[in-house]
Every structure is written in C-alpha cells, then in structure tokens.
Chains A and B, each alone.
Chain A
Amino acid sequence: MSVPKEHMMPMLDASLKLNKDPGRRIGIADVLYTLIALGAAVFAYYHYREYLWGPQIGMLFGFAIGVSFLGWLWPATRWLVGVVAVISLFTVYQYGLYAPGGEAVGRIKLHEIQEGHFFLKFFLSSPAATMWMVTLFALAMPTYFFGMWRRSAFAGKVGSALVWSGIAMGFIGFFARWRESYLINFDYGHIPVSNLYEVFVVFSVFTSLLYLYYERRYQTRALGGFVMTVVTAALAFLMWYQFAQAANTIEPLVPALKSWWMKIHVPANFIGYGSFAISAMVGVAYLIKEKVGGDGVNDRLPSLAVMDDIMYKSIALGFAFFTIATILGAMWAAEAWGGYWSWDPKETWALIVWLNYAAWLHLRLSKGWRGTAMAWWSVGGLLVTTFAFLGVNMFLSGLHSYGKL
C-alpha cells in the first residue's frame, strides 16, 4: 500500500472522516425548510408588494433560496436562521405595540420605548443585542484558547456555543437596528451596512460564521482562539468607536448610498474580508506550530497540511466573493458616479487586495507553493486588507468616505 503516509496519521484521519458528505441527498427536512423559507418570502411579498420593486423582489426570493441552499449545505444554519427569525419578529412586534401602524416615533421616543421595556432594554434592542454579541464573542476567544491549552473538548464546545450565540445576537441586533432606523424617521430607514460602525458588526458576525463552517468541516476547535482574536480586536475597536465617538447613532444615508446595490455589495465584501481574516489567523497558527517543531504526536493544533488547506479554502472563498463584491461595486459606481471604475482610493485598494490574493492563488495552484512562505503571505495579506478596509477611510480621501475616524 503506497497511499501517502499522512493518511495513516490518526489525527488527520479523524479530521477527514467527518468531512462534509459530498453526495448528501435531499431529505424531508431540506424540503420542509425550503418550503418554509419560500413561504415566508411569498408572505412578505404579498403583504409588502407595494413597497417592493425589481431588484428588491429578486433579493427577497434570492435570499430565501440562498438560505435554503445554505441549510442543505450546512444544516446547523437552519437553527440559526430559525432562532434569529423568531426573535427578530418578536422584536419587531414589540416595537409595533408602541408604534402602531409602523409610524416613525422619533429618536427620543424610541429611546423611551427601549428603556421602558424589559426585553427591549436588556436583550432585543440593537444596542443591547449588539452588546451581547460583543460579550459572547469576547468570551469565546479565551474559552477556545483554554480548551486548546487544556485539551478540553468541553471548553471547545462552550467556545462554539458562545460563538453561535454571539452570531445570533449579532443578527438580532442587526435586524432590530434596521427596524429602529425606520422608527426614528421613515426617511432614515436603511439596512445597517452603511457606515464603519455597522460594517464592523457585519465583519464580526460574518467572520465568526465562516469560522464555524471550517470548524465543522475540519472537526477542530483548536483554531477558534486564533480567529476569535481578530474578531475580538475588531470589537475592541467597535467599543472604542461607540463610546469615544458615539458612532452607533443611527444617521440618515447620504444620497450616494441610497441604492439597493448596497444590500448586496457590502455583505459580499465582508464574506471576502472575513475569509481573508480567517486565512491570516490560521497562517499565524501555522507559523507558531512550525516554530515549535511542526507536526507531532500530541498536537494541540491541526496538522500543518490541514491548516495549509484551510488557508487555501478560505482565501479561495474570500477571493471568489471579493471578486463578486468588487464587480457589484463597479456596477453600482456606474450608476451612482458615472463610471464603473474611477480609481478612487477605495476602488484602487480593493484592486490591490484582489491582485495580492490573485498572486497568492496563482503560486499555490499553479506553482504548487505551500507552507511557510504562503502562511507569511496570508498574514501579510490581512495587513493589506485591513488598510483597504480601514486605512483608506482614515488616511485617504475619496468617494468612499462614509466612515471617517
């Protein structure tokens, strides 16, 4: 038998056996879930059809189909979607009790409603839910690290549970904020992905969710601490931004952002940013492991080969979505600014990020590069990405100046 040797290593075997079942058949649960998702979309369309047009209708049904597909690919997301949907609807219902007919009530009245209601005040309003998200994510990082250090499967599971709950609270806060923007003033209403504060929440939630996918796919919780480090760092910034600059205030949109393109351009971008962040943190784990002696019998971290694979998978996914996001951005720019490419600093840095990962992928896929150099490169890639995400807003001016510090 001359199957490659690493196949006989127990650790790797374990990580492979529990892989995704490639030919998973469509079961009754998949059908039911899809029907519920589509049913909800039809219900929403029927009730709000006078407010919906063209792309928005496409997005409503596209979202239902996307969620169904995700549920088939990754059944655990059904629980997430279900919990978030039920609680968010409850939140909207609670707000509806105080603001009958969906009338806007103004900033001060909204604050009074939030303060005067137990669930809203402590759990469901966007400030409360977001704070829960921050807390849960911040707790997940040390829990994961503790689990890795003590080889405690239990601690690892607690870490995962914290991340799942954090994601749920993040989404609940997200939808609550979306509703709240309309309650303050109907004109203000918008999906909360419009400024630096809002996208930091999106970044944290997306990165954590993508991480959980790899956690399940590779059956290892050892990388959780590393990924949640970057999420916690993002949240530390978020907290500073909120308390030092009151950045969490819901503001109306500038005219250039009033477009349905924002709903797809921004999330697509953050699948990219999140994936790149994960690959960089796995790269860090890779480099640490290599420094302390590489693969061994009693490893706390997954094998180098597995980490190398995660790095590739997450850069590939990130690259695919970053490409889509950049193209969507170009199409939006063609409508809002008069040209699909203006060499605006944000656009240019998006291109730089894209070129960077394109080079990475070429070296890996075609030249077969692996290991240390690629790990360093993916860590460096995060610096480039961070500059594109934050640095451009801080140091350069241009058309994308929505999140000035």
Chain B
Amino acid sequence: MSDTSQSVELNPPKSAGDQPGTAKVRSQGVTKRILLWLTSMNLAVTLLVILAIASVIGTVLKQNESFNSYLDVFGPFWFAVFRNLSLYDVYSATWFVAILLFLVASTSSCVARNAPAFLRDIRSFRLNAQEKSLRAFAHKMDMKSDAKPESLVAPIQALLERAGFKSRVKTQPHEILISGRKGGMNRIGYVLTHLGIIVILLGGLLDSKMQLKLMDALGMVKVETANIPVSEVPDISKIPVGGLQAFRGTVNIPEHKWGDVVFIGLKDGYVVQNLPFKIFVNKFAIEHYDTGMPKSYMSNVTLTNKETGQEITKTIEVNHPLHYMGYNIFQSSFGDGGTKLKMSAWQLSGRAGVAQPIDSAVFDKKRFDFNNQNYQLEFTDFRMYNINPVMDDKGVVHQKNYGPSVTFKLRNAAGEAIEYQNYFLPISFKGHQYFLSGVKRSIGGQQQYLYIPADQKGSIDTFMAYLAMLSDQAKMQQIAARLIGDVSSSVDGKSAMSNEKLTQSASASIAELVHIFVQQGFPAMQAKIESALAQRNLSPEAKKKAEQASISVVRSVLERAFLETLAAQDGKQEFTDKDAKFFDDAMDAISALPAYGSPIFVQPKSFEQIQSTGLEVSRAPGAIWVTIGSIMLVLGIFMNFYIHYRRQWVLLKPDDKGTRILLAGSDIRKNIDFDKDFAAFSSELMAATESKPSESERPA
C-alpha cells in the first residue's frame, strides 16, 4: 500500500523496495516503529494473502448450519475445536474481523503517511534537482548543442508542453534547469484507490453483525434456541425498533396473516427484531414457465406504518425489492402457510378397508389410537407441484408433474417417526395408474414408494375393498372352503360330504395363511408353511411339492377373493387383462404393506391452499458508503493504471562553444512505455535543439 516510488525521483532507484529512512528506525520511538511496520508493503501483501486464505475456509465448510449437523459430521472433538475457532460462521468470527480491521489500519496508515507527501509532490516541480542526482536516473541522455543555453529554453518548454508536460525554469549562474511533470492524477488515483477500500470496509463493517455480537457478548440480548411463537419469546431476546443500526433478518408470513418482526440468526438460535410497521400478506404467487420451472415469485403485501397508520400495498418480486421507511424488503423464499386438508384414513389392518375422514391443516397434529397404541400424525408440508424427471421409452428424460402432495410424519408412542409424502391424484406409469406414497424412514434417507393400483374409475376403492375382503378371516375361510369343495367335487363327488371336517380344517389353515400374508407379508407366510410341513416327516422333494401346492392354493384363494370383490363392486364377472395387472399390482402393494410402517393409509382428498412467503428485511446504512467507496476504488484503479506520472528534466550548462544538455526522466511505473516515450522525446529534443548525442561527462 505504501507506494515507495516517490523515493525514486531524486534518490537513485537502487533499492526501490526500501522505505525511505529505514536506517533511522532504531533511534525512533515505539509508536513510530509500529507505524512503520503498519505501513510496510510486506505487511500489506501478507494481509492480502492471509485474508485470501482465510476466506477459503468458509467456502469449503458450509456456513451457519445447525450445530447438530456439524456434530454429526465432525464428531464431538473436532466439533468443539471448530466451534471454538468460530469456523461455522467464519466471516463474522472475531479473528476474521480482526484481520479486516488490521487491513483497514494498515491501509489507513499508508494513506495517512503517503497522501500528504504525494499531494505536495504533484504540485512541486523539483527545481532543486542536482546534476548528480539526475545522472542517477535510468533514463538519461547527454547531448551537445552549438546554441546558447538561454536560446534553448523556449523551444524545450514548447516541446515539453507538446508532450503533455507542465514545466518551470530555474536559472542559476552556471546552469539552467527546466523541469516538467505530468500525470499527477496518478497519485490522486493512489489515494482514491486506498481510501475507497477503507470506505468500503468501514461501510461493510457498519452493516455486519458486529453490533449484535457485541450486544450478545455484553449480555444485552440473549439468543433464543427454542422453536416457539413470537409471543412467547422473552423480551431479552427481542430487540426494539432502532435497537440495531444494521441487520438482515427473515420472516415467514402466511397469506392473509401479518407479521411485524424478523428473525436474525445468531449462534445456534435467533433473536427477534421488531419492525416499525406491519406486513400483511395479501397473496403469494408463483408463475411457471411451460417447462414447469418457476418463472417468478411474487408477494403482494400491505404495509402499515405503526405510528401513523398509513398503508401502502405493493408487490415484492425477486430482483424487485421494496424500500419502505428506510428498510429493504426482499422476496427470499416461500413455503406452506397452513393449507387446509381433507383426507381419508384407511385402516390397513384390523378393520381394513374402512375409511375415516380427517380434517386438518399443514402444521397441525392429530392424535389417534390404534390397537391400543398411541400415534400422532404431524402434517408438515403441502406442495402444489411435484416436478420430477421421468425417463420415457426412448430413454429421454422429461419433466413430469405428479400434482399436489401432502407430507406428514407418523410418530408412534416411542417418539419414532416415519415421513410420508402422499399424492392427491393417481399417477400414471406405463398406462396404469397408481396412488403414490413416498416413505422416508430417516432424515436425509432415501425415499421409497408404495404403489397402490387405482381401479378403472381412477379410485382407490377397489383396492381397499379387496384388502377388506382379505382381512376378513371368516370370509376367507368360506372362499377357501368353496374352493376346496369345487376341487374335491370335481374329483370325487361322493366323498364331498364325508370330507366336510377335513375341508373345514384345511380352509381354516388356508385362511390363516392369507391372514399372515396380509399382515406380515409373503416371507412370513412361507415361513409358516415351512414350519407346518416340518412337523410332518416328508422327503425334501415331497416337502417342496407340498410347499408349492400350499402357495398355489393360497394364490387361488386370493384370486377368487379378488373376483368376488370385483363382483361385489359392480357385478362384474369376466376377468380382463387390466384386472390381471391390477391383481398383480395389488399383490405387490399388499406384500409391501407390512414394510410400510403405518397402520393406516392417509389418502388426501381435497385442499384449500394457503401459502406463506419468506421475506427478508434489512437495514443497511453502510450500503451508501460501500457504493461511494466502490466508485472511488474504480476511479482510483483506472487513474493509477492508465495515467502515467512522469517527470523530465533538461539541464543546460554553458560550454566553451555552445551548451551541454542533460535530459533525465522518471516514470514511477517503470514500464516499457516510458522507455519508448523517453527515446522518442530524446530524438525530438535533439532535433529541436539541433544537438548531437555526446559521451556522458562527469559533473564538474
């Protein structure tokens, strides 16, 4: 930051990097030494590099997650280490802010030290330059002219002016010195660049969480960690209007509700900031492209000034925030605002196939008992659109809308919960329709689906009726008995009656197998068959045969039961391919039921959508300073890079016949451009003064 190039101009540029007056350091006081250290280039570059490296941390480690998720990832030891280093919110960590402040201090002291000297320098013509010091420049040239020194002054000044230099002349008894300079704005550029950085950093600091962290450290405010309504948040966690100069907070407000606070995340909780106005949400809307992608998010809100009662109604959109009473209000997220739901709860076991209506809403909870067990339904979300990628027959992926869904948790008495996502409408796969229920057993776990086949009317009724039939053991026994009767009568009509007892016991055990299949699934039924067969002494081959026979009998019963269900439904007698597919799907669904984890199936019927909008409210008094600083920075950078600060001296000394001319020049940037320009100027000077190059001479 300290631009040492000023030392170049009169001192030989041997050690461009050294600070002027380094040798004197030791004799000076501690304050001066600290100041010198603060303004040193090494410190500045070191700070830039350290800041760059420190910034990497926050991009690698996800910031501001919940403490629990960090604990999961790092384990207790590293979790504590990282927490103590404030790595979870690294950019507002004390040590990080300290680096920034250090940078401000370093930059400020550089500007403070250099700016006055620079500003003096750009007004000075350096007419006290001695021949000796001019000869120390890298760019110099000796010439000889036959003209008298006095006659050369005017053409040289004209030449300098044409090259953009302002010039002054100093006449002394034995020499005339013409000194030119240009590009003083370069030095202003230096000052602007560095002042700009300071202004930006201070503006940014003003808008940071610094004040809030300070209040927290001093105990003026307490972080609330519980998820409770605003009315229950204690006053110590609330900040009055104007209590914070700058903040960024968020709030979710459902449609047709209002809010007058925002939540500011701090550590592992939040604090509540009161606002001087109320935000009433009239409507939240999402527009979609034809692809189903969201096109815009809009909140129509009415703001009421709490003091004057004045109201304004405006629409806030992404990229179109609202500015009100010195606050900025942004569209930042959206969610459900408590959509009202009407559902049917189908029992899956016990009295299967019986539906009870449930009226609830998102964020509501519903308790129920089943088989003397307590359960709780917690409705967590409603989604209007579920756009999922689906691969078609050709392998091309399309976006497909599955329609509305409701997400809920089913919590048992032990507090364990399984998350379900059930869709309102049957979804078609390869020409067949299914009611979908997504199951998630753990947070972040894979979602698995239960596919319940929809009947030809697109309803769940046939499946549920069939399930009811299968769960009715008496009925199953009847069907089994009838089936056995049919089989034995076709084999031997006379012995049918004598076998009645046998039939009864056989049909009872078949009904039992069906019951096990419905309640516990296919593997359990298979196990039951095996254990029953194990009691008899059979050869492995016979055992296998008997097992297959049992399964096929059960299957026949299931089929028969399905036909009876169809008949009962709409008097249907024939069995089509569609029915066969339905039967297979139903079998799949029923085998999956035991793993479904819920004694009921919640079928969403209808909804009344209520959305909520996530608004971000901020106050940023530093923003204007950041803007001003940015303008200074950009102007300064361009001035610094593209305006050349140059000096050129022409020293005229009378000779026995004519004049010895010494041309010397400097450009603080020492780029090739100056080599070229100086060479060009040299030849122009030779032409203007009608001189020739000469060997350099030692000054007298």
Q: Would you call B296 an interface residue if the criterion is a C-beta within 8 Å of the partner chain's C-beta atoms?
A: yes
Q: Is the CB of B139 within 8 A of A365?
A: no
Q: Which of B210-218, B454-462, B629-637 contacts its partner?
A: B629-637
Q: Tell me, rounded to whole Å, the shortest Cβ–Cβ distance linking B326 to chain A.
A: 15
The answer on a CB contact under 8 Å between B142 and A396 is no
Determine if B129 is an interface residue (Cβ-Cβ < 8 Å). no
Residue A363 at the B interface, CB < 8 A?
yes
Given the known interface contacts A19-B676, A255-B319, A335-B319, the answer about A363 and B59 at a Cβ–Cβ threshold of 8 Å is no
Chain A CB within 10 Å — which of B4, B45, B290, B669 has the most? B45
Q: Contact check: which of A335, A362, A365, A366 meets B321 at CB < 8 Å?
A: A335
Which residues of chain A are within 8 angstroms of B673 by Cβ–Cβ distance? 19
A210 CB-CB contact with B under 8 Å: no
Name A245-302 residues within 8 Å CB distance of B.
251-252, 254-256, 258-259
Q: A255 to B298: give the CA distance in the assembly, Å.
A: 10
Question: For residue B270, which residues in chain A have a CB less than 8 angstroms away from its CB?
Answer: none
- Quick one: closest B residue to A188, CB to CB? B289
Q: Chain B's nearest CB lies how many Å from the CB of A373?
A: 12
B487 interface contact, C-beta 8 A: no
Contact of A254 among B207, B293, B677 (CB under 8 A): B293
B139 touches A4 (CB 8 A): yes
Minimum CB–CB distance from B312 to chain A (whole Å) comes to 20
B630-A327 in contact (CB<8A): yes
CB neighbours (8 Å) of B321 from chain A are 335, 338
- B634 → chain A, closest Cβ, in Å? 6
How far is B56's CA from A355's CA once the two chains are assembled, in angstroms?
Answer: 12
A70–B674 Cα gap in the complex (Å)?
23
Report the interface size class on chain B.
Answer: 35 or more
Which of B236-244, B432-440, B616-624 touches A? B616-624
Chain A residues within 8 Å of B3, by CB:
365-366
Interface residue A351 (Cβ < 8 Å from any Cβ of B): yes
- Specify which chain A residues have a CB less than 8 angstroms from the CB of B641 in the assembled complex: 316-317, 320
A341 at the interface (CB under 8 A from B): yes
- Chain B residues near A356 (CB-CB < 8 A): 48-49, 52
Once bound together, how far apart are the Cα atoms of A3 and B62, in whole Å? 58
B547 within 8 A of A: no
B58 in the interface (beta carbon within 8 A): yes
On chain B, the residues within 8 Å of A319 by CB distance are: 637
| Nearest CB on B from A223, distance (A) | 15
* A121 to B207 CA separation, bound complex (whole angstroms): 54
Are the CB atoms of A252 and B293 closer together than 8 Å? Answer: yes
Q: What is the CA–CA distance of A16 and B328 in the complex, to the nearest angstrom?
A: 54
Q: CB-CB < 8 A to B58: which residues of A?
A: 343, 345, 348
CB pair B623–A338 under 8 Å, yes or no, is no
In the assembled complex, B569 has its CB within 8 A of some CB on chain A: no
- Mask, A329-358, CB within 8 Å of B = 1, is 011001111111101010011011001101
Contact of A339 with B319 in the complex, beta carbons under 8 Å: no
Q: B626 contacts A340, CB within 8 Å?
A: yes
Across the two chains, which residue of chain A brings its CB closest to B56? A352
Lowest 7 CB-CB distances: which A-B pairs, in order? A368-B16, A338-B330, A355-B52, A338-B616, A345-B59, A255-B318, A16-B676
Known: A2-B141, A306-B672, A316-B641; 10 extra A-B contacts, CB below 8 A, are A1-B693, A3-B140, A309-B671, A337-B332, A338-B618, A351-B52, A362-B48, A368-B16, A368-B17, A368-B670
What are 29 sample pairs from A and B whose C-beta atoms fall under 8 A apart? Answer: A1-B696, A2-B696, A3-B679, A4-B138, A16-B675, A16-B676, A19-B673, A19-B676, A187-B289, A187-B295, A188-B289, A252-B293, A255-B296, A259-B319, A305-B672, A319-B637, A320-B637, A323-B633, A323-B637, A324-B634, A330-B626, A334-B620, A339-B207, A340-B626, A343-B58, A355-B49, A356-B49, A362-B41, A363-B41
Please list the residues of chain B having a beta carbon within 8 angstroms of any beta carbon in chain A.
1-5, 16-17, 41, 44-45, 48-49, 51-52, 55-56, 58-60, 62-63, 91, 138-142, 204, 207, 248, 289-291, 293-297, 317-321, 328, 330, 332, 616, 618, 620, 623, 626-627, 630, 633-634, 637-638, 641, 669-673, 675-679, 682, 693-694, 696
